[in-house]
Structure formats: C-alpha cells, structure tokens
C-alpha cells in the first residue's frame, strides 16, 4: 500500500442517525440484546479498513490528508449485516418444487421421494468448480445489495469428495466463511446413513477441515439421527472445527441436548422447540440461530423467538438462503419477520444479525458494531430512522454498502 492510500479516509457526514449494538460484549442476551446506541446528527470515519471514529457532527474535528466524503443527509447508518447461516453454494433451482408445494406437496414428502435437497445435489455435482465459484459470487452480490457484508455458507450439496471440497473452496474464494455440511442428506449411492458417514468422515473430513471453519449436520427424521449427528460432530471437533447443528426444524430429536453437551457454537432452526429446549439453551453457551424466512417459505410454525430471548438465550438471526426452503437472501426482510412474527423489537433484531451473528462466526471482536477498531463494514439506509431496516418490508431501504472501508455497492 502506498503512503497516500494508507492516509486515505472515508468520512460519512451529516447522518440523521448512527445505530450500533452498545458495549463490547458478545453474545448479547436478555435485555442487553435490545441495547442499541443511537447517535443523532452523526458522522463516521473509516481508515485502513477499520472504523476510526464515530460521533456527533458538532464534535467532528478537521481531518488531515486525503478524505473521501459521503453526504449522509437523510440517511441512517447501521453495521454491515452478518449472515451466519446460508447455503449459497448450489447449482440449478427448485422452482418446480416451489410450484408443487404451492399446490399442497410438503417439503418432507419431496425430500423423501428423492427431490428436495437431492435434486440440488444432482445439479451441483454436474456443475464443476468454476460454475460453483460463479454461483457463490452471484449470491454474494445479491446479499450485498441487502447490506450483508459478511456471510457464512455451507457446503452440503456435493455429498461426494470432489464436490464437497470444490464447494468449500468456492465459498472461501468468493469471500465467504465455509462450513462443512457433509451430513446434510444421505446421497443415493449409499443405502443407509452410517455407511455414508463412514465414507465422509474417512475420505472427506480431513481435507474439508483444512478449508472450513465449522461443521454442520441436519439432525432430523429422514436425514441423520442424534447418534449419527454425535458421531459426525465428534469427528469434526477432533479436526478442530467449530460445531453447528440444524435441529428442531420439524421435530425435537435431541439436537439441543447434543449441542449443549458437545459445546456447539449454535443450534439453528428451532421451529419445533418447546419449553425444555428453551431452558436447556438458556443455561448454555450455545447460540440459537433463528431462520424465520425458512419457516415462512415452507409455511411452517415460527420459532419461539420471544420466549428464547426472554429466557436469556443468546439469539442470532440469519436468512438460511438456499434454493429449497428459503430462497431469500435479505437480512432486512428477516429483521422484519423477526419483529412481526417472532415479536422481537427492531433493536433486538439488529443485534441478532450483527454482533450475535458475528459471534456465531467467531468474529464478534471485529464485526457487528460501529465502534472504533472494528472492521469498516457499514450499511447506509435511505431512511430518517434506522428502524426502517425492519419496518420497510421488502423495500429499497439499503442505499450504500461499505465493506472494508470502501464503497462496495451503491444503489
């Protein structure tokens, strides 16, 4: 980097509001989840990819050197959004299945008859690594337009050695945080789940663990049971991966207990979770990742968001972006659903898809807040009040996205 580039700063001035989760803790629980600090008539300075300063306009000191300015009048700034649960590496689509579901077919029935996840596996295996990289890049740009500056993506549509590893590389190369979802479904060349796990743990996990940061398993009837999930996750832990689970999406099958026992980072979905599961999570360090767009897309019950927060569970929000159960890349829409369906406040929703989501990805020390020293990932909303991010359902509320201190997208 040249000296002039090093000195270059980005100043966003005259913002109507700047909103950020307060403090420096992560994950936020209970009443702390709603602790959003709002500065009126604010500025923000980025330098060298970090947030250098935030404050009120009347306190803005003269800046030395080369400064690019953005006029923030009429806008509100929030942290770059963090999507901690997506399945962005896939080929093909499931629009036909979507039509069948509109006519009454259920997601589980389609899965059981070789459609669903396995139809995306067929398309993903046939695509090749270049096409997978292009797909992740395209999906990353879709997310960016909605303010997502950090995204996780799972593999899980390969379920063979080459396609799983190609998927993880594609995710990493396109700037995502890769999670190895080797236990998403049992592919057709295996008769039963244990034989498939023998293969994936011996032949794929050792190399997958060199690319991925975390592992994930779909614990559900028709996919993997608790004993199989335990076997997969214990092996992944042995390779140094963080642990995550898809659990309680349709049935309570022991996923929360397993997550707590193994010290998982998160347990995701929880549409079927009852009081016992809520209590177990509240007494643990496992974050509950709620995916209301998936519940909506499948016409399923919503997860018990209000009860989880009130019980003191660390709650995060994510899209679950994927071609089958949640073809939705918008965290602002998820925030809106969190408010209207899960009964979280806009403040709680913001913390859940910034600092708490960053915690799930092991990055809460530098992502999810507009605080000096954090990564300069910022979303500018074309709105006088930051809560429009949830209020304007499906609206064009995001106007500019700053990632690493640079304008990455502008409407």
Choose one: 109-117, 320-328, 375-383, 396-404; the region binding Fe ion (CB under 5 A).
320-328
Partner touching 79 among ligand NIG, Fe ion, none, CB below 5 to 8 Å by kind: none
Partner touching 117 among Fe ion, ligand NIG, none, CB below 5 to 8 Å by kind: ligand NIG
Question: Please, what is the minimum distance in Å from the beta carbon of residue 379 to ligand NIG?
Answer: 25
At 314 the three-state DSSP class reads coil
Q: Which residues contact 222 (CB under 8 A, 6 or more apart)?
A: 108, 111, 112
Query: For the chain, give me the number of helices (H) and strands (E)?
Result: 17, 16
Closest CB to Fe ion: residue number: 320
> Binding residues for Fe ion, how many (CB under 5 A)?
1
Toward ligand NIG, which CB reaches closer, 20 or 294?
Answer: 294
Partner touching 116 among Fe ion, ligand NIG, none, CB below 5 to 8 Å by kind: ligand NIG
Residues at the site binding ligand NIG, with contacts judged by CB under 6 A: 87, 116-117, 120, 218, 246, 249, 294, 320, 322-325
Toward ligand NIG, which CB reaches closer, 184 or 359?
Answer: 184
Toward ligand NIG, which CB reaches closer, 29 or 87?
Answer: 87
Closest CB to ligand NIG: residue number: 324
Partner touching 218 among ligand NIG, Fe ion, none, CB below 5 to 8 Å by kind: ligand NIG
Question: Judged by CB under 5 A, does residue 320 bind Fe ion?
Answer: yes
The candidate with the shortest Cα–Cα distance to 37, out of 50, 49, 52, 24, is 24
Toward ligand NIG, which CB reaches closer, 51 or 200?
Answer: 200
Choose one: 123-131, 159-167, 314-322, 399-407; the region binding Fe ion (CB under 5 A).
314-322
Question: Please, what is the minimum distance in Å from the beta carbon of residue 116 to ligand NIG?
Answer: 5
Q: In what order do the strands lie in the sheet with 214-218?
A: 81-83, 148-154, 177-183, 214-218, 242-247, 266-269, 287-290, 315-317
Toward Fe ion, which CB reaches closer, 10 or 186?
Answer: 186
Question: Please, what is the minimum distance in Å from the beta carbon of residue 264 to ligand NIG?
Answer: 16
* DSSP output for 58-78: GGPPPPPS-EEEEE-TT-EEE
Spatial distance between the Cα atoms of 370 and 271, rounded to a whole number of angstroms: 31
Backbone phi, then psi, for 26, in 5-degree steps? Answer: -160, 140
Question: Judged by CB under 5 A, does residue 152 bind Fe ion?
Answer: no
User: Per the structure block, which two tokens stand in for 184?
Assistant: 């998403």
Spatial distance between the Cα atoms of 45 and 55, rounded to a whole number of angstroms: 9
Partner touching 29 among ligand NIG, Fe ion, none, CB below 5 to 8 Å by kind: none
Choose one: 32-40, 61-69, 319-327, 375-383; the region binding Fe ion (CB under 5 A).
319-327
Spatial distance between the Cα atoms of 379 and 373, rounded to a whole number of angstroms: 17
Spatial distance between the Cα atoms of 84 and 244, rounded to a whole number of angstroms: 11
Partner touching 281 among ligand NIG, Fe ion, none, CB below 5 to 8 Å by kind: none
CB 278 within 8 A of CB 257: no
Question: Please, what is the minimum distance in Å from the beta carbon of residue 363 to ligand NIG?
Answer: 21
Question: Please, what is the minimum distance in Å from the beta carbon of residue 281 to Fe ion?
Answer: 18
Toward Fe ion, which CB reaches closer, 320 or 347?
Answer: 320
Question: Judged by CB under 5 A, does residue 164 bind Fe ion?
Answer: no
Partner touching 324 among Fe ion, ligand NIG, none, CB below 5 to 8 Å by kind: ligand NIG
CA-based radius of gyration for the chain = 21
Backbone phi, then psi, for 105, in 5-degree steps? Answer: -65, 145
Pairing of strands 177-183, 242-247: unpaired
Question: Please, what is the minimum distance in Å from the beta carbon of residue 85 to Fe ion?
Answer: 6
Q: Which helix H or strand E contains 148, and what residues bound it?
A: strand 148-154
Toward ligand NIG, which CB reaches closer, 46 or 212?
Answer: 212
User: Per the structure block, which two tokens stand in for 170?
Assistant: 């594609």
Q: Which helix H or strand E contains 195, and what residues bound it?
A: helix 193-199
Residues that bind Fe ion (CB under 5 A): 320
């Amino acid at each position: 980097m040249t000296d002039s580039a090093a000195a270059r700063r980005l100043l966003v001035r005259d913002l109507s509001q700047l909103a950020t989760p307060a403090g420096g803790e992560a994950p936020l629980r209970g009443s702390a989840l709603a602790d959003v600090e709002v500065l009126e008539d604010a500025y923000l300075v980025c330098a060298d990819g970090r947030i250098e300063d935030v404050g009120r306009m009347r306190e803005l000191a003269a800046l030395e050197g080369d400064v690019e300015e953005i006029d923030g009048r009429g806008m509100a700034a929030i942290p770059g959004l963090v999507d901690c649960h997506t399945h962005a590496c896939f080929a093909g689509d499931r629009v036909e299945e979507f039509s069948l579901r509109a006519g009454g077919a259920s997601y589980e029935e389609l899965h059981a008859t070789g459609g669903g996840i396995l139809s995306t596996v067929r398309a993903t295996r046939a695509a090749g690594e270049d096409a997978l990289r292009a797909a992740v890049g395209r999906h990353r740009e879709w997310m960016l337009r909605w303010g997502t500056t950090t995204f996780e993506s799972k593999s899980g549509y390969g379920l063979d050695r080459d396609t799983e590893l190609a998927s993880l590389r594609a995710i990493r190369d396109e700037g995502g945080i890769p999670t190895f979802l080797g236990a998403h479904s049992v592919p057709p060349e295996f008769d039963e789940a244990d034989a498939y796990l023998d293969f994936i743990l011996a032949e794929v996990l050792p190399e997958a663990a060199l690319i991925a940061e975390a592992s994930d398993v779909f614990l559900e009837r028709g996919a993997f049971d608790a004993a199989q999930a335990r076997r997969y996750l214990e092996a992944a832990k042995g390779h140094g991966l963080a642990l995550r689970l898809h659990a309680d999406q349709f049935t309570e099958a022991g996923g929360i207990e397993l997550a707590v026992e193994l010290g998982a980072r998160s347990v995701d979905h929880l549409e079927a979770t009852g009081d016992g599961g809520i209590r177990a999570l509240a007494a643990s360090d496992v974050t509950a990742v709620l995916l209301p767009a998936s519940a909506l897309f499948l016409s399923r019950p919503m997860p018990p968001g209000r009860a989880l927060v009130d019980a003191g569970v660390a709650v995060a929000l994510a899209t679950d972006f994927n071609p089958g159960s949640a073809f939705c890349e918008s965290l602002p829409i998820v925030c809106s659903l969190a408010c209207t369906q899960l009964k979280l406040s806009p403040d709680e929703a913001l913390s859940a898809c910034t600092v708490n989501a960053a915690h799930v990805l092991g990055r809460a020390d530098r992502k999810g807040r507009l605080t000096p020293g954090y990564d300069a990932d910022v979303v500018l909303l074309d709105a006088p009040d930051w809560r429009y991010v949830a209020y304007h359902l499906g609206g064009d509320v995001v106007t500019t996205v700053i990632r690493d201190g640079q304008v990455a997208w502008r409407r």
